[in-house]
Every structure is written in C-alpha cells, then in structure tokens.
Amino acid sequence: MPARIVIGAQYGDEGKGKIVDFFAEKAELVARFNGGNNAGHTVVVGKETFKFHLIPSGAVQGKECCICAGTAIDPAVMIEEISMIEKTGRKTKLSIDGRAQIIMPWHKQLDGASEQAKGKQKIGTTGRGIGPCYADRAARQGIRFCDFADKKRLDAKIKEIAPTKIKEIEKVYGLKSEFSVESTIKEFSKYSSELAKYLSDCSEKVNESIDAKKNVLLEGAQGTFLDNDFGTYPFVTSSHPLAGGALVGIGMGINRISYCTGVAKAYCTRVGSGPFITEIEGSLADQLRKKGAEFGTTTGRPRRIGWIDLPMLRTAHMWNNFTDLAITKLDVLSGQKEVKACISYKAGSKVFDKVPYDTEVLAKCKPEYKSFKGFELPPKISSFDDLPQEAIDFLRFVQGETSVPIKIISYGAERMQTLDLF
Ligand code: GDP
Ligand code: IMO
Ligand code: MG
C-alpha cells in the first residue's frame, strides 16, 4: 500500500483529525511529522470526543503511532495524552523518534515574553513554546528526545543551557524566570523515567513499513498558510506543515508518498494574527462561529471566520500537489441564504489568482467573490445524491477552480457524518 499524507490546506483546524481517523481505519501505522502541542486534532466517535495535541489521531483506531523527528514534544502534555487514551481502555502503540525536540520551561516562558514585548504586532501564538523550541533547534542548542531519555545527558544539557536562558529572561525581558536549573532537573527527571521507553528510530519504522507495503498514513499538523517559509510570514508557526515537511520531518525520500489529501473547510477560519482576506465580522461571523463551534481546540480562543478562499486553495495545491480534497463542515453553511467563494484578490489594479508572497501586499488585497444560492442539508444524508443541488453546484465550483477532485465531504463532527467518494 502506498503512503498517504493528510495536509491542512488553510490556516489549520480544517478537520484533519477527523479525516485522519477516516483513513486510519485501513492504516497500519500513523505518523506525525511536524509541530507540537500547538496542534489540537479532534475525533468524534459516537459519544466519545478525543482531542489530540501530540499523538496521531490514528490512536483512536488503536493503530501503531509514530511521533517523528520534526516534532516538538512537551513531555507533560505527552504523559497526559497517553493517560487520556489508556483511560478509554485503548493501548498506546507509540514510538517517539530520538531526534524530536523537547519543549523546555524556558521555551514556554520566552514564547509568552516575546509575544508580550511585540504588543500589537504579536503573532498570537498558542503560547506553548513552539517558536523558541524550533529556534533553538536551528541554533543547535535544542534538547532532543534521545538526550532527554538518558538522565545523565539530560541533566548535563539542562546545566549547560538553562543559565543562559535565565539570563535572557531576566536581562532582555526584565522578568523573573519561572524555573531554575534544579527545578527543571527534578521535574524532567520524572518525565524522562515515564517516557524513555518510547525512544525509537521512527524514520526507520516508517520507511520499513512502506517497504513492507504496509498502509502508512502521515498526519500533518497546522495548515499550509502557517508554514514557516510559505505561510503568511511572520504570522506563521515555526515548523513546516507543507507535504514537503514530511520528508525532512520523518526522514524519507521524495517518491515515498503516493497520495496527498488536502483538507479544507467549506469556509475558512484562522486563529491568531495575520492577514485573512475573506474574513467576515459581525452577526454572520458570530452565527457561523457558533454553529461550527469555532473555538480553538488547544487554547479555546474564538476563531476568526471567513468565506472559502480559492486563491489559497490553488496555491496550497501548487505547494502540496494534492491528489484529492476533503471538504469539511459543509453542515455549518446549511441554512444560509447566500454562500460565497473568493475567486481572486485585487490590490490596486493588480489581480491575483494565487496568494502573493509578500505578506504586506497580501494584507492590502481585497476579495472578489462569486455568490451562490444557499442550501439546506436534509436531516439524513447517505450518499452524494442526497445533497441539495445548490450544495453540489458550490462543491463542483470549488473542485473546478482548484483542479483537485473532492473525494470526501464531511457534514458533521461525528465519524459517520462523512461521504466517501473514493
Ligand atoms: P484539526 O486541527 O484540523 O484536526 O481540526 P480541529 O479538531 O482543531 O477543528 C475542527 C473542529 O471541527 C473539531 O471540533 C471537529 O470535531 C469539528 N468538525 C470536523 N469536521 C466537521 C464537520 O464536517 N462538521 C462539523 N460541524 N464539525 C466538524
Ligand atoms: P492544528 O494542527 C490553528 C497558529 C497560532 C498562531 C501561529 C503561531 O490544530 O491545525 P505557534 O504557537 O505555533 O507558534 O503559533 O500559528 N497555530 C494554529 N492555528 N491550528 C493549529 O494547529 C495551530 N497551530 C498553531 O494560532 O497564529
Ligand atoms: Mg486544530
């Protein structure tokens, strides 16, 4: 079985967790390759709701899970999440790559301090220490899971790194550090004892599974437009949510992934700062936010709401080369008199059908819309033919404009509320 990757095509929270759960039924191994507990992936099965931050959503189906080299791990969150799964009677078949980075107390405090110092210019991060952790990786002063799993090495790293971080917090930001060398050694020694058993080489595991023709599923976190290079910089995360991120985030060659599913909402949302061309405000936004329960899975922040943005989806397709699209949350648009899709942007006399690279140019863009007649979804949907013609027209337009076949339509949070068009 060739490997499949699931990628967020917008600003994150597209419903990747639900779509990964859909594919995980047939998967034998599910791997995360980027980000940390800035992610929040929701899977709803009957009356059970799972919110994953680190562990791949394939855990609900009891599948073998890998947390690969490109991720950032907060050990306390990891321990909590393992316990959440085990409490439901499921076993965690988990491996963590020795190369994954550890989020340390200084990363979290520096994330908050830097946001505060930026004032109005803040990114609106999740405050989970992601940016400072990846910055340390690039500066070659990160602590990797293989260091963390060996207490002697862990203590030595903490003694080497923490004093400089305390100085930075105190001298640069004028704050009191919330940790000391001793408190960190004590706290992390406990975490290390609990998690060391998961230490593994996930690159080898994933590659060998693909060689053995196993069904391998790769779960992206965040979304295309939060990519550190290609997103709306600087309003981005610090990892690479693009499909290409999986190659270096796992350690695999370019021809290993055969299918790439782009996940997009039938509209669009964003949490945190940065341009959002199709953003809607006022009562319509409030209505959709309420209906779609658009509050962050990780931070609980209200998500900003807007119409579906086709320049974004075309650009996301160019960068990820989607083989198929999963359109989620169609039910949230149900009952609207009118539904809109942004077909291009205009800035002065310039028209863009893809997202411009300069975030300042993007911020000046105005959306050009095509309007659709609204639709009401019937209470029971069992096939594509049950969808109202107006909804089909809208979806066909999205498919035509992105040149990617829509193969999954999600019309509710629950696992069964999914149309499989494969
Ligand atoms: P992710 O980060 O991409 O996995 O997405 P999140 O889990 O953060 O946010 C998606 C939210 O929408 C979750 O609360 C899901 O349970 C929910 N959801 C997913 N698909 C649908 C859908 O088709 N309809 C509705 N109403 N909710 C959905
Ligand atoms: P999932 O995987 C939505 C956003 C933050 C902020 C920016 C940088 O659930 O789709 P960070 O804490 O990463 O330094 O914040 O990125 N962000 C997300 N938005 N979904 C996510 O993950 C996100 N992860 C980060 O809101 O704007
Ligand atoms: Mg999310």
Verify whether residue 229 is a known catalytic residue. no
The last residue of a domain, from among 197, 224, 253:
197
257 & 192 share domain: no
Flag whether pLDDT at 408 surpasses 70: yes
The last residue of a domain, from among 175, 197, 219:
197
pLDDT band at 166; cut points 50, 70, 90: very high
Average pLDDT, the chain: 97
**Closest-CA residue to 54 (of 66, 37, 68, 70):** 37
pLDDT single digits (tens) 315-329: 999 999 999 999 999
Instruction: Answer for the pair 217, 29: CB distance below 8 angstroms, yes or no.
Output: yes
| Residue 308 placed within a domain | yes
pLDDT single digits (tens) 251-261: 999 999 999 99
Q: Could you tell me the residue range of the domain that residue 238 belongs to?
A: 3-90+201-420
Catalytic residue among 41, 107, 240, 317: 41
pLDDT single digits (tens) 134-155: 999 999 999 999 999 999 999 9
Query: Residue 323: which residues within 8 A CB-CB, separation 6 or more?
Result: 258, 259, 260, 261, 404
30 & 167 share domain: no
Verify whether residue 97 is a known catalytic residue. no
* CATH code, domain carrying 140: 1.10.300.10
Residue carrying the six token digits 């039938």? 266
Q: Per the structure, how many domains does the chain have?
A: 2
Q: How many whole angstroms from 293 Cα to the centroid of ligand 1?
A: 8
Flag whether pLDDT at 297 surpasses 80: no
Instruction: Answer for the pair 131, 90: CB distance below 8 angstroms, yes or no.
Output: no
Percent of all residues in the chain with a pLDDT value above 90, rounded to a whole number: 98
Nearest ligand to the CA atom of 11: 2
3-state secondary structure of 50: strand
43 & 78 share domain: yes
| Residue 386 placed within a domain | yes
Q: What residues are in contact with ligand 2 under a 6 Å CB criterion? A: 8, 12-13, 38-41, 123-126, 128, 130-131, 221-223, 226, 237-238, 271-272, 297
What is the C-alpha separation between 264 and 16, in angstroms, rounded?
Answer: 9
Instruction: Answer for the pair 104, 133: CB distance below 8 angstroms, yes or no.
Output: yes
Q: How many whole angstroms from 37 Cα to the centroid of ligand 2?
A: 9
Indicate which atom in ligand 2 lies nearest the CA of residue 14.
10
pLDDT single digits (tens) 45-97: 999 999 999 999 999 999 999 999 999 999 999 999 999 999 999 988 999 99
Indicate which atom in ligand 1 lies nearest the CA of residue 14.
3
> What local confidence, expressed as pLDDT, does residue 178 receive?
98
Query: Residue 398: which residues within 8 A CB-CB, separation 6 or more?
Result: 308, 310, 313, 325, 327, 341, 406
What is the C-alpha separation between 286 and 267, in angstroms, rounded?
Answer: 14
Taking each helix axis from N to C end, the angle separating 105-118 and 151-167, rounded to the nearest 10 degrees, works out to: 20
Q: What residues are in contact with ligand 1 under a 6 Å CB criterion? A: 8, 12-18, 40-42, 44, 292-293, 297, 328-329, 331-332, 410-413
pLDDT band at 1; cut points 50, 70, 90: low
Q: From the centroid of its chain, how far is CA 294?
A: 15
Buried b (16+ CB within 10 A) or exposed e, 221-256: bbbbbbbbebbbeebbbbbbbbbbbbbebbbbeeeb
Cis peptide before 379 (omega within 30 of 0): no
pLDDT band at 377; cut points 50, 70, 90: very high
7 & 38 share domain: yes
175 & 258 share domain: no
**Closest-CA residue to 218 (of 230, 203, 228, 231):** 203
Indicate which atom in ligand 2 lies nearest the CA of residue 226.
16
Flag whether pLDDT at 171 surpasses 90: yes
Q: What is the mean pLDDT of residues 344-348?
A: 96
Nearest ligand to the CA atom of 15: 1
The last residue of a domain, from among 197, 231, 246:
197
Flag whether pLDDT at 405 surpasses 90: yes
* CATH code, domain carrying 243: 3.90.170.10
226 & 149 share domain: no
Q: How many whole angstroms from 130 Cα to the centroid of ligand 2?
A: 9
Q: What is the best residue among 237, 329, 411 to mutate for testing ligand 1's pocket, by most ligand atoms within 8 Å of CB?
A: 329
Buried b (16+ CB within 10 A) or exposed e, 132-148: bbbebbeeeebbbbbbb
